[in-house]
Structures are given as structure tokens and as C-alpha cells.
């Protein structure tokens, strides 16, 4: 190796910025970024991953599909590798055939997934722009992260849920100053705030918790795992799926003991009078008392009473992790948390009320001045059909069948072609055996991927995509203070091409070349998008270097820090509910929603209720006695860089946490290989026995690539072999990943 070309440059990623050392055309080392007080360890695996043998080296077409349009054998691993031009010709002809025979409404381009950081080469933007340029595609609504909340919360607080998260919640600085009691449903997990869409440069969550502790703030983590909040927080173990019951009981105590802020309810909310009879048990004969909630939640009634009194007596912020709405009836704890905060009367007070997703990603809880993005325009989609993102298998299995979604009745489209770039559904979707069945329905599946992921392995046409380290881009997230030039650090690995080049090649063949590229090469697009961004920033009074300067400097810190965040919505609403109403039908916080009531859904009625999921600890059976939570992995982002991580001694199968008593009853010790199973499937995992998880609950993180189809046990430990594929309710239709029962046995 020629050492003379050794270079160190900075790039960014969803898990933050880092230095990359290249030598001899390869990435040889990564190092922390000096400005980051708490850098993520994720980049360490990068050199191994980028040059891993599991990179897709050249375009690949599944032989049985090519020979006979076979759909059943997806996952068989038998590919031919034609030259690029030929592969693009074959794919373009197939896309053309489908759109001419069935229309563009037969193309699914929802293409959910995190892809990589970098604004121009953002894979979803690229695939959507391409599909729009050739006549449109069936799109998806919402995310796996917060799909259910995105549906329910606008009914309750009137605001787009993402605006609420990013622009109107209190910052960690405000919380540090004002909050006395922090009640965290599902915790606030520094492990999760390692990442943020498009990058998070200064990892600050852990530092804020040190400040909270130093100040003497009471910090209570409510949920199945002690480790969901930083060390030193109080842990109130609570059964998964039962949070709505616990919140109702807290509300009951407040109502019974005269702690409710009736003044706030009268001026800022609507429908408490229609919710109260349910709370007090007048409508169903069941008062939602702590004694009622104790057996459901596993939380002692006395502790519930004491917590309610403390919440009413102090400045209290209720925070709710996103995991609480990635479960069946996830609408209920979300809605109920807002009702509880309204009863406390602290919504809109600094450090009080309710907040969602602190810690879920880095960037929530930061003060920042919103700055226009740097986004590839996607064009217009001529197809208007959209499915809730997590209903993809339902769609493929039930063409033409009706389904409900947030007050609408729609029919699933008849999908013949699936086009995916930047996501790994065979990692992220629930009940993967069911998805495999659904995956046999479309005529053709095209995937752009850098690696032979579980999804690429199940595609008919696989185009090798570059990673961000092989192309030039700009790194910028509206939740971050930094701006990066991301240089092409190495040449493309194998025959990989940028998604842009792949789609330009297809668009060209489909007569939409000019519409897709507008005559620009990638570098010209980057300059064009950057110029627009720089103009917007300048107009907002933020100094941004020219592209040439940024190229020379590699990165800059922008003056995007806000002096004091305006918190437009809830602060102003609190001060002046008539003059600054919410965007709900009543202009107030909707404790009862006539709109939702009008939908007539028994799985999401007109006010928050306790609705037990089909699978949760309270419904445990002898066949499936344990509740499985499947959190995000701490050592990586979803399934990314998995191939290299899986090579690390002892890393696979994935580790499952199990409580001491459950382990003892099954003769399981730390390090043992176990089989985790239910009626939907089985996975292999490695046990870690602990007292830091609630008895009756096991935790297996997402992220392992599921093995080839046909195996009766996934060797790698992907929890989605086990999860149930059902919408949160007819309202939200989000994923119910966290509502799953399993059994575990020693192998």
C-alpha cells in the first residue's frame, strides 16, 4: 500500500460527524470529531463495512425472474450479473411494460427507510423524483417512527406532530431551568439520541441529564427497562402496553383529590365533561382508580397516588417515548398524556406540560432557529393514492380491498412493481414471514442498495448503490448547528453508482431523462441546491460560506442557536386561548373529539380510553408467556453496517435481555443461545440475564438481517420474525411492533 496518499477528512452521518482516514483508495480508520462532547462509537465499524464482501459489486438480476418471471423464489440467491447498460435496459423495459399495462398506480414507491445522510443523494428524494418523472407512484404516509402519533395528535393539539416535536416543545435548557419533576414514559435514552435524521454533531443528551441531576430534579423513568433512562433516574417498572391505564389512574387521583386545574380545563380545553364520567366509572361502572390500574400496570396503587400528588404539586413535564405509539392502541397513551397534562394545567408553562420523543433522536430538545432546508425537489406525483406506511404487507396481500384510515375508507391499490431505495423492509417491517408471503405478489421488485441486505436478497433486480463515502454531497440537518461538505473519500466500490446516476439511466430510457436531470450533473445539482440554501440563510441573517469556501473548510458551525426559543404555539395559546387558538376544530385541546367520535371506531373512540392490546403481558398465555419489546439497537442504526458488525466475535445472534426469574425458570444463563418463538416464527438469540428489566418482559433489539427464507429459525435474531403486523387502530394504522408475546427456551 502506498502510504503517501494518506488523508484525513471529516464527513457526517445520521450518527454524527467523524474523521475518516483514507489510504490507498480505502477507508482505513475513523476517529471522533473534536467538537462532539460525546461521540458515537458507531463509525468504528465503517472501514470494515464499506469494503465488506457483502457489498453489491455489480448489477444483479435474479435468474428465475429473468427466465420465467418467477415470483415465488425470491430469496433463492441465484443471480446473473449483466453489464450496467443491459441491466438498466431490462429494468426500464419492465417498468415501461407495467406502467403501460396497469398504469403508474400499480407502482409502489413508498420506499420507506433512513438511507444515508447527505442532502442531494438522499435516496428517498431520488427515487420519488424519478418515479414522478415517469408518471407517478403509490406513496406512503407517515413513518414507522411516529405514524400513529402523526395521525392522532393533530386531532388533539391541532398541530402537525412533527412541527410540535421540532419547533414548539421546550428545549432541554428550559427544562433544566424550570422542570421540577420529569415523568418519562418509556424513558429518555441517550442511546437513541446518538442519531438524528441527517446528522447530530454535538451529542448533548447525556450532558443535560447531568445538569438535571445536579439541580435535584426528580427524574422518573416509567416502563419495562431501567436502562431506558440515564443512570441515577428513579425507575418505576410498568408493564408494556399499559401506560394509558397508568395515566388514567393518575388522572383519577387528581380528580378525586381536587388537584385538577379546572380553570385551565374551562378556558383551554373542550370535552372534559364527556371524558370525566368514563374516568370516574359512571359510564362503564369501572372507576379508573389506582387500585384498578395496579394489576394492569404492575405499579403499586400507593405509588400511583404519591406520583399524582407530586405531579400536581410541582412543575411537571410528562415526556412520552415514541415506542408507546408503536404498539396496538398507541393512540391512547399519546392522547391521554395530553389530557393528563391539561388536567395538571401546566401546558404552555416553561418546563411543564407534555413533550414527545425527547431522546428518541438527537436534536429534539435543542434550541435552534429554523432554516430552510437543502432538498432535491421531487416534482409532482400524478398518482394520488397513498397508504399508511406500515400497511405495506396488507396492501400487497389485499389488492382492491377496503381499509379504514383516520376517518377515510380507501381501497388498497393493486401493486405490480415495487421500487425501493434507501430502506430495508425485511429488517423494519413486522411479521417478516407474512411480508415474505406478500412479497411474492408483485410481478417485479427493484432495489438499489450498497449491501446485500435481507431486502436486496429478495429483489429481482438489484442495482449497486454507492455509500456517502464514495460521492460528493452536502451534510445538513435543520436540527443541527453544523454544515458539512462531504467529500468523495474513495472511489465507488465495485461497479456501484450513485442513486442519481441509476435513476438518470432509467429515466433516460423511459423518455424522461431531461425531466429527471434538468440537464444537470450531480455536481451541478449540488451547486444549485446549495445556492438556494445559502440565499435563504442569508435572508435569515445567518452567514454561510460559498460552496468553494465550504469545500476548502470541510465543515462550519452556523449561528443557528436561538437566543430564546419562541415556542410559538403552546406558549401563545396559554397566554391567549381566544386570540391564539390551536388548529383543532374547537381551537382548544380536545379531550373529547367530535371528529374522532364521528369516525365510529371502536378501537379509537371519542376520548382516550384504556384498550388492552391483543398481545401484552395481561394477555400472556402458556404458549407465549413473555412480552417482547424490540427497541432500537444501541450499537448501530437499524440494520445499517450490519454485515461488518455481524462479523464481530459474539455479536450474532443478537442479545436478548431476560429477567432473572424468567431465566431461572427456563434454566437460562447469560451467554446461552436461546430460541425465541411464537406462532408467527422463531429466532435464535443470545441471552443476557438481568434485574434491570421487568419480569415477564424480554427485549431483543432490531437490526439483525433476517436470514434466508425457508428457515424455521432466523439464526441472526431479527425480532420482526416474531412481531405482529397489525395497525395501531383504524385511526392511526401505525406499526404495532411493541405488542408481541413470545416464549423463550434454551437451545
Ligand X SMILES: Nc1nc2c(c(=O)[nH]1)N[C@H]1C(S)=C(S)[C@@H](COP(=O)(O)OP(=O)(O)OC[C@H]3O[C@@H](n4cnc5c(=O)[nH]c(N)nc54)[C@H](O)[C@@H]3O)O[C@H]1N2
Q: Which is nearer to ligand X, 271 or 703 (CB)?
A: 703
Q: Which residues inside 611-630 make contact with ligand X, applying CB under 6 A?
A: 629-630
Taking CB under 6 A as the criterion, the residue among 13, 406, 702, 729 binding ligand X is 702
Q: Is 112 a catalytic residue?
A: yes
| Nearest approach, Cβ of residue 719 and ligand X (Å) | 5
For residue 92, what are the CA distances in angstroms to 221, 507, 509?
A: 52, 8, 6
Beta strands in 312-443 (DSSP E): 316-320, 353-356, 386-388, 402-405, 408-411, 417-421
Q: Which three cell numbers stand for residue 712?
A: 424455521
The number of beta carbons lying within 10 Å of the beta carbon of residue 602 is 9
| H or E, element range at 279 | helix 272-279
Which among 108, 112, 166, 451 is annotated as catalytic?
Answer: 112
- Give the dihedral sign, CA 353/359/363/367: positive
> In terms of DSSP bridges, do strands 18-23 and 626-629 run parallel, antiparallel, or are they unpaired?
unpaired
What backbone torsions phi and psi does residue 556 show, to the nearest 5 degrees?
-140, 155
**Binding status of residue 228 toward ligand X by CB under 6 A:** yes
Phi, psi of 495, rounded to the nearest 5 degrees = -100, 20
Only segment of 202-210, 220-228, 364-372, 378-386 that touches ligand X (CB under 6 A): 220-228
Which CB, 329 or 607, lies closer to ligand X? 329
Closest CA to 366 of 128, 203, 240: 203
User: Which DSSP string do the residues of 114-160 spell out, in sequence order?
Assistant: ---S-STT-HHHHHHHHHHHTT--BEEES-TTTHHHHHHHHHHH-S-
Whether the ω angle into residue 653 lies within 30 degrees of 0, i.e. cis, is yes
Residue 169 interacts with which of ligand X, Mo ion, none, CB < 5 to 8 Å by class: none
The size of the interface with ligand X (CB under 6 A), counted in residues, is 63
Q: How far is the CB of 198 from ligand X (least distance, A)?
A: 12
Q: Which is nearer to Mo ion, 642 or 662 (CB)?
A: 642
Name 186's Cβ contacts closer than 8 Å, sequence gap at least 6: 222, 223, 228, 243, 320, 321, 322, 323, 324
The partner residues of 140 in beta bridges, in order of sequence, read 387
Part in contact with ligand X (CB under 6 A); list of ranges 115-123, 158-166, 484-492, 657-665: 115-123
Name the residue nearer to Mo ion (CB basis): 328 or 470. 328
Nearer to ligand X, 680 or 738 (CB): 738
Q: Is 145 an interacting residue with respect to Mo ion (CB under 5 A)?
A: yes
Q: Which is nearer to ligand X, 469 or 573 (CB)?
A: 469
Which of 22, 453, 457, 733 lies at the binding interface for ligand X (CB under 6 A)?
453
Distance CA 552, CA 548 (A): 6
Instruction: Tell which one of 12, 337, 346, 424 touches ligand X (CB under 6 A).
Output: 424
- CB under 5 to 8 A by kind: which of Mo ion, ligand X, none does 142 bind? none
Contacted by 706, from ligand X, Mo ion, none: CB < 5 to 8 Å by type:
none
Q: Which of 150, 337, 584, 640 binds ligand X (CB under 6 A)?
A: 640
Rounded Cα gap, residues 488 and 11, in angstroms? 9
Of 112 and 555, nearer to ligand X (C-beta) is 112
| Alpha carbons 539 and 522: distance in angstroms, whole number | 26
Residue numbers at the binding site for Mo ion (CB under 5 A): 145
Active site residues: 112, 114
Residue numbers at the binding site for ligand X (CB under 6 A): 113-116, 121, 123, 144-145, 185-187, 189, 191-192, 194-195, 222-225, 228, 238, 240-241, 243, 321-324, 326-327, 360-361, 421-424, 427-428, 448-451, 453, 465, 499, 629-634, 637-640, 699, 702, 719-720, 723, 737-738
Amino acid at each position: 500500500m502506498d502510504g503517501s496518499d494518506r488523508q484525513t477528512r471529516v464527513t457526517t452521518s445520521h450518527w454524527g460527524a467523524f474523521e475518516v482516514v483514507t489510504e490507498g483508495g480505502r477507508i482505513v480508520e475513523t476517529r471522533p470529531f473534536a467538537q462532539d462532547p460525546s461521540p458515537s462509537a458507531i463509525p468504528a465499524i465503517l472501514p470494515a463495512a464499506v469494503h465488506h464482501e457483502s457489498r453489491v459489486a455489480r448489477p444483479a438480476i435474479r435468474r428465475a425472474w429473468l427466465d420465467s418471471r418467477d415470483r415465488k423464489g425470491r430469496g433463492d440467491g441465484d443471480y446473473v450479473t449483466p453489464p450496467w447498460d443491459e441491466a438498466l435496459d431490462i429494468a426500464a423495459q419492465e417498468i415501461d411494460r407495467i406502467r403501460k399495462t396497469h398504469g403508474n398506480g400499480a407502482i409502489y414507491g413508498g420506499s420507506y427507510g433512513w438511507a444515508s445522510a447527505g442532502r442531494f443523494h438522499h435516496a428517498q428524494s431520488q427515487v420519488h423524483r424519478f418515479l414522478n418523472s415517469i408518471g407517478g407512484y403509490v406513496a406512503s404516509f407517515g413513518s414507522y417512527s411516529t405514524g400513529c402519533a402523526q395521525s392522532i395528535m393533530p386531532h388533539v393539539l391541532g398541530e402537525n406532530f412533527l412541527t410540535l416535536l421540532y419547533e414548539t416543545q421546550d428545549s432541554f435548557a428550559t427544562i433544566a431551568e424550570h422542570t421540577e419533576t420529569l415523568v418519562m414514559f418509556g424513558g429518555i435514552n441517550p442511546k437513541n439520541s446518538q442519531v438524528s435524521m441527517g446528522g447530530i454533531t454535538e451529542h448533548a443528551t447525556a450532558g443535560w441529564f447531568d445538569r438535571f441531576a445536579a439541580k435535584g430534579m426528580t427524574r422518573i423513568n416509567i416502563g419495562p427497562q431501567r436502562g431506558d433512562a440515564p443512570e441515577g433516574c428513579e425507575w418505576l417498572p410498568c408493564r408494556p402496553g399499559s401506560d394509558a391505564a397508568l395515566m388514567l389512574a393518575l388522572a383519577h387521583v387528581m380528580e378525586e383529590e381536587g388537584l385538577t386545574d379546572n380553570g385551565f380545563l374551562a378556558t383551554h380545553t373542550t370535552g372534559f365533561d364527556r371524558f370525566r364520567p368514563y374516568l370516574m366509572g359512571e359510564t362503564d361502572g369501572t372507576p379508573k382508580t389506582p387500585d384498578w390500574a395496579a394489576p394492569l400496570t404492575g405499579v403499586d396503587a400507593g405509588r400511583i397516588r404519591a406520583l399524582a400528588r407530586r405531579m400536581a404539586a410541582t412543575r411537571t413535564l410528562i415526556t412520552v417515548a415514541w415506542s408507546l405509539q408503536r404498539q396496538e392502541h398507541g393512540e391512547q397513551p399519546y392522547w391521554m398524556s395530553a389530557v393528563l397534562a391539561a388536567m395538571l394545567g401546566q401546558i404552555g408553562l416553561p418546563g411543564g406540560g407534555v413533550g414527545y420523543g425527547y431522546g428518541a433522536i438527537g436534536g429534539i430538545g435543542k434550541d435552534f432557529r429554523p432554516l430552510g432546508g437543502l432538498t432535491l425537489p421531487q416534482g409532482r406525483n400524478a398518482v394520488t393514492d397513498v397508504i399508511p406506511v406500515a400497511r405495506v404487507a396488507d396492501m400487497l396481500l389485499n389488492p382492491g380491498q377496503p381499509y379504514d384510515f383516520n376517518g377515510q375508507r380507501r381501497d388498497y391499490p393493486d401493486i405490480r412493481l415495487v421500487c425501493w431505495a434507501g430502506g430495508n423492509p425485511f429488517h423494519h417491517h413486522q411479521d417478516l414471514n407474512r411480508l415474505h408471503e406478500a412479497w411474492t405478489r408483485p410481478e417485479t421488485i427493484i432495489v438499489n442498495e450498497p449491501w446485500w441486505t435481507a431486502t436486496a436478497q429478495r429483489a429481482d433486480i438489484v442495482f449497486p448503490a454507492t455509500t456517502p463515502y464514495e460521492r460528493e454531497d452536502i451534510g445538513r440537518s435543520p436540527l443541527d448547528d453544523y454544515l458539512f461538505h462531504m467529500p468523495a473519500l474513495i472511489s465507488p466500490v465495485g461497479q456501484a453508482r450513485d442513486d442519481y446516476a441509476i435513476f438518470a439511466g432509467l429515466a433516460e430510457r423511459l423518455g424522461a431523462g431531461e425531466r429527471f436531470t434538468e440537464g444537470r450533473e450531480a455536481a451541478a445539482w449540488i451547486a444549485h441546491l446549495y445556492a438556494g440554501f445559502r440565499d435563504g440563510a442569508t435572508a435569515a441573517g445567518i452567514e454561510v460560506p460559498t460552496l468553494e469556501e465550504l469545500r476548502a473548510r470541510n465543515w462550519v458551525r452556523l449561528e443557528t442557536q436561538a437566543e430564546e426559543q419562541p415556542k410559538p404555539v403552546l406558549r401563545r395559546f396559554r397566554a391567549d386561548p381566544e386570540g391564539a387558538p390551536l388548529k383543532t376544530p374547537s381551537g382548544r385541546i380536545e379531550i373529547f373529539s367530535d371528529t374522532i367520535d364521528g369516525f365510529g371506531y371502536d378501537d379509537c373512540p371519542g376520548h382516550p380510553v384504556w384498550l388492552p392490546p391483543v398481545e401484552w403481558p395481561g394477555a400472556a398465555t402458556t404458549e407465549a408467556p413473555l412480552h417482547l419489546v424490540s427497541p432500537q439497537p444501541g450499537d448501530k442504526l437499524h440494520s445499517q453496517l450490519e454485515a461488518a458488525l455481524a462479523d464481530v466475535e459474539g455479536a450474532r445472534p443478537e442479545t436478548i435481555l431476560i429477567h432473572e426469574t424468567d431465566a431461572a425458570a427456563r434454566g437460562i444463563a447469560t451467554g446461552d443461545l436461546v430460541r425465541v418463538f411464537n406462532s408467527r416464527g422463531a429466532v435464535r438469540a443470545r441471552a443476557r440475564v438481568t434485574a434491570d428489566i421487568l419480569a415477564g418482559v424480554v427485549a431483543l433489539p432490531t437490526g439483525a438481517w433476517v436470514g434466508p427464507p425457508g428457515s424455521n429459525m432466523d439464526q441472526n435474531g431479527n425480532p420482526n420474525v416474531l412481531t405482529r403486523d397489525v395497525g395501531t387502530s383504524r385511526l392511526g394504522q401505525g406499526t404495532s411492533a411493541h405488542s408481541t408475546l413470545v416464549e423463550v427456551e434454551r437451545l
